[in-house]
Each structure stands twice: as structure tokens, then as C-alpha cells.
Structure 1
Amino acid sequence: MRVTGDDGRPVQLPRGRVRHLLAILLIHDGPVSEDVLRHWLSTGARPISGSTLRTHVAALRRALGPGAERVRTEAAGYTVETSQGESDVAEFRELARRGHEALRRQDFLEAEALLERAACLWREPMLADLPDSPRSTPLVMKLAEEHQLLSEALIDAKLGLGLGGQLIPELRVSCEADPPRERAFEQLMIALYRSGRRAEACDVYKNLRMRLVESYGADPGPGAAGVYRQILTDHEDLRASAH
């Protein structure tokens, strides 16, 4: 996590829970109650005390210097005030929202541009410099899921632009993930089919079904099954690559 002051210089934040506190406030959309923060910042069996939390808040404000007033105490809890373009998380979410809207309109060119900009804000591994806190893992996982959905939407935009052939190697790697993510299989099937590789597209579905049956005793969901049926019937919607 990086913080830059108004003068463009990096702000040195204390290691440990102070950095973790700021990350939680930035990732969470809206105020976070004291009880929730105490729970999320805890690494032991019991939540940290209210006085310990307030000590961390005070330390964060001191570290931010002139920006201390951005850490606000409200009736609903604590929050960090940021303006447009100041928070990567907020900008990522806004670009993703606009990109998903453009994709729903089938404006694939605009969707690709917006989603690419959002993707460029992402750095891996996420929050690697923060202390491990299993209690706040669901919050971090939610952000990771938002990134996954954005990545899938970006591929949809590129498929809509007729770039499926370029995506095949990347999608094959995604399909090797465990547990399998069916959306990647759907997209690989479409990319192969539109590249004139119909038999390979069918094999992708059969591979997905075999993995799901062996691991979970379940068939693919309606998304992958629907794409497979469209491939078998050379459905017009699947052949079309909108521009």
C-alpha cells in the first residue's frame, strides 16, 4: 500500500495495524463501526480493545500529518475522506462500474478502454505489506472478486471486438485454476469457436464437465451448457462478433 501527500512525496506509515486500519477504511465503501474495526484488526481470539483501536486511529492521523482530518469519526464509525482520483480503490470501482455499463450496452470499444484503465490500477500481490488477519479476509476477498469480475468483463469486451484468437492462451491458463471457474471455460469455448476451432471448443466443455462431475458430482451450469448448445447448433448469436 502506498500513500502520497499533496506535495507528491510518499507518506511513511507505521508498519502493522496502522497500515491495516487505513487499508480497511479505503477498501470498505462507507463508515466502518468501531466494533467491526476491532474485530477485523484482531489477530487473536478476542477483538482488540476500544482504547487500542483509538490509539491506532491517532497514530494514523499523526502519520498523515496535514491529511489527518481525512480520517473522520462519525456516528456510524470511522471513514477516510478522499476526492476523485485520490484513491485507487475508488477509481478502480468507478471505472469498473462504467465499463460494465458499456458492456451491457454492447459498446465493446468503450468497455474495453474503461476496463483496461481499471485493470492498470491493480498490483499483485494485493496488500502484501499488511499483517495477516484472517478476520478481515472476507473484505479482501470481496475486492479480489471484484477484480476477477472485471477481468472476465474485459475478456467479454475483447471477444465482442473480435479479438478471441488472441485470448486463447490466456484463457487456457485460467481454465486450469482449481476450483474451475466456469466463466473462463465459456469464454474459451467462444474464442475457439469464433476462431474456426469448433471441435476444440466442444472438447473444452467436455473437459469442464468431467472435472465437475469427478470433483463435485455436478454438471456445468446453464451458462457453459448454453454456450455448448449454441456451438452444436451453430447458433447465430454465437457466430456474430459485434463491433
Structure 2
Amino acid sequence: MGPLSAEVDNVSIVPTAAKPCQILALLALNGDRLVTKNVLFEELWENNPPQSATTTLHTYIHQLRRQLGSALEQGSGKDPREILVTERSGYSLRLAGGDTDVREFIELGRAGTEAFEQRDFHSASMVLGRALALWRAPMLSDIQYGPRLAMHALALNDLRIAAVDRRIEADLRLGRHLEVLGELRTLCAQHPLNESFTAHFMTSLYLSGQVGQALQEFQRIRAVLIAELGVEPAPRLRQLQQVILSGGRPLADTGLVGAA
């Protein structure tokens, strides 16, 4: 999760040219599933493929197979066509028991979410933390990509934000409000409209004895929401403000901390 990285038998198969990198990334994200030529055309050339698109795509596939072949010669010696497979209408990358960090992230995210929903906050924090540790940088940060990879990157980033949200709430419910305070300060600066992160930040400030700053954070996001979107904060966030004003217990309500 970050720059493109792919290995076969511990040998890198990442090409140097940009468009073969796009193809490899898209095939890996759809591991063991067909990626049609039309989808590849859209990724590589959006709505304006050249007349030579089919021939050029074949050339890129040949380059990838040659890269695979070089790696396989040092290891299993398998035919690269058994890994990068030509299908009737496109291509598929057969992982053959291998895995991708994207798959691992999704599986860990599901397991962490299940633990969270069962109120096993220790397991949720640990498993979601493992999932998030797979992110080394923004998705595919070292390559320029087209619309198909952009959709994958956006969807995965949404899952990452959700995993961060659940992991932080799990930590708050474990009494780790001081440990997450700095992280939440950064997240609120990076995502000034995210009401859930703001709710977590307000809660961690309040539980750390910084009541005034917690209320200032509510006023900050309220001003931003009104200025940029013309809306008031969500009811749960307003309720959290009232709990703080009354000196209540924000974590007593399972639905109060996550305000989005």
C-alpha cells in the first residue's frame, strides 16, 4: 500500500516504463480476475485510444511477461504465460497462492470491524492497527494512473479512513485518550470537514482535561461547515458538545463518539 511493488520468487517484476506499470497495478488489484482489454484501454488512454491500441497493449503485455520470465528463471522456472494469462477478452494475473497487501488490508479490516462490532476493542485496535501498518504512502504514489486505478485508489483510501476511525474509537474506549491526542490533531488538520475525527478529538481533549479546547474544536468545525457547505454539524456532534458542557460521559453512549 504505497509505491508499486511486485515480486516473483523474491525478484522484482516492476517495469521501468509508465504504462506497463499501470497495467501491472490494475492486474494485481484484480488478482485472479479477468481485466478486459476495454478496461485496460480506458486506464491507459481514457476515452482516446490510438488506432494502434491493441498492438501497443500486446507489446506492453509482452514486456511484462519478459520481466516475469527473468524473475522465474531465477526461481521456479514456470512459464510466465501461466501467471499473466491471456483470456478471451483480456488478461488476468494468477497469484498462484501468492497475495497482495491490498487483499491483506481488506481481510484485516473486515476482521477488525467484526471485533469492533462485538465490542472486543482490544482485538479491534490490534487488528485494525495491523491493517493500517500496511500503508507506507499514498496508494500508487510513484506512478501516474488513469481513471480505473484512480477509482481503486479512492475506494481503498475510503476503507483506510474508516479503519482509522474505528481503530481510534476502539483506543478511546480502552482509555487511550492521551495516546491518540497528537494523531487526532494531525487528522483534523488533514481532514477539517470530517466530523467523526473531530468528535474523537473533542472526546480525547475532554478526557485529557482540556475542556475549553474541546469546545473550541466544536466551534472550529461548525464555522468550517457553515462557510464551505452551508450546514450545521451533525446531531451527534452537537449532542457531544452538550455532554461536554454538562460534564457528562461521552463514552457512555456507544453511538456518540463517532459523529459522522
TM normalised by structure 2 equals: 0.80
Instruction: Using the aligned pairs only, state the percent identity.
Output: 31
What are the residue-to-residue correspondences of 1:192-203 with 2, within 5 Å?
A: 192-203=205-216
CA-CA distance at 1:207 after TM superposition:
1.3
SS state of the match for residue 176, structure 1? helix
- Corresponding residue for 1:214? 227
- Corresponding residue for 1:204? 217
Q: Is the 8 A contact 1:27 1:143 kept in 2?
A: no
1:57 correspondence with 2:54:
no
- Corresponding residue for 2:173? 160
SS state of the match for residue 92, structure 2? strand
Provide the aligned length of Structure 1 versus Structure 2. Answer: 239
- Mapped partners of 2:210, 2:170: distance in 1: 20
Q: Is the 8 A contact 2:14 2:21 kept in 1?
A: no
CA-CA distance at 1:95 after TM superposition:
0.9
- Post-superposition Cα deviations, 1:25-49, rounded to whole Å, max 9, x if no partner, equal 2224743322122101226x50352
- Post-superposition Cα deviations, 1:78-99, rounded to whole Å, max 9, x if no partner, equal 3322256621111111111111
SS state of the match for residue 6, structure 2? coil
When residues 85 and 203 of structure 1 are mapped into structure 2, their CA distance, relative to the original with a 3 A threshold, is: farther
SS state of the match for residue 72, structure 1? strand
Q: Structure 1: which 5+ residue stretches go unaligned?
A: none
CA-CA distance at 1:199 after TM superposition:
3.4
What are the residue-to-residue correspondences of 1:66-85 with 2, within 5 Å?
A: 66=72, 68=80, 69-74=82-87, 77-82=90-95
- Corresponding residue for 1:27? 29
CA-CA distance at 1:203 after TM superposition:
2.1
- Post-superposition Cα deviations, 1:164-195, rounded to whole Å, max 9, x if no partner, equal 11211221222123552222101111212222
CA RMSD of aligned residues (A): 2.7
- Post-superposition Cα deviations, 1:49-94, rounded to whole Å, max 9, x if no partner, equal 2332232223222211236222234457433222566211111111
CA-CA distance at 1:232 after TM superposition:
4.0
Q: Is the 8 A contact 1:19 1:130 kept in 2?
A: yes
Q: Is the 8 A contact 1:26 1:89 kept in 2?
A: no
CA-CA distance at 1:240 after TM superposition:
7.5
Aligned residue identity for 2:109:
A
- Mapped partners of 1:160, 1:85: distance in 2: 36
When residues 190 and 208 of structure 1 are mapped into structure 2, their CA distance, relative to the original with a 3 A threshold, is: same
- Mapped partners of 2:68, 2:242: distance in 1: 57
SS state of the match for residue 41, structure 1? helix
- Corresponding residue for 2:257? none
- Post-superposition Cα deviations, 1:142-172, rounded to whole Å, max 9, x if no partner, equal 2222222222222122112110112112212
The one of 2, 7, 15 equivalent to 1:13 is: 15
Aligned residue identity for 2:22:
H
- Mapped partners of 2:192, 2:172: distance in 1: 24
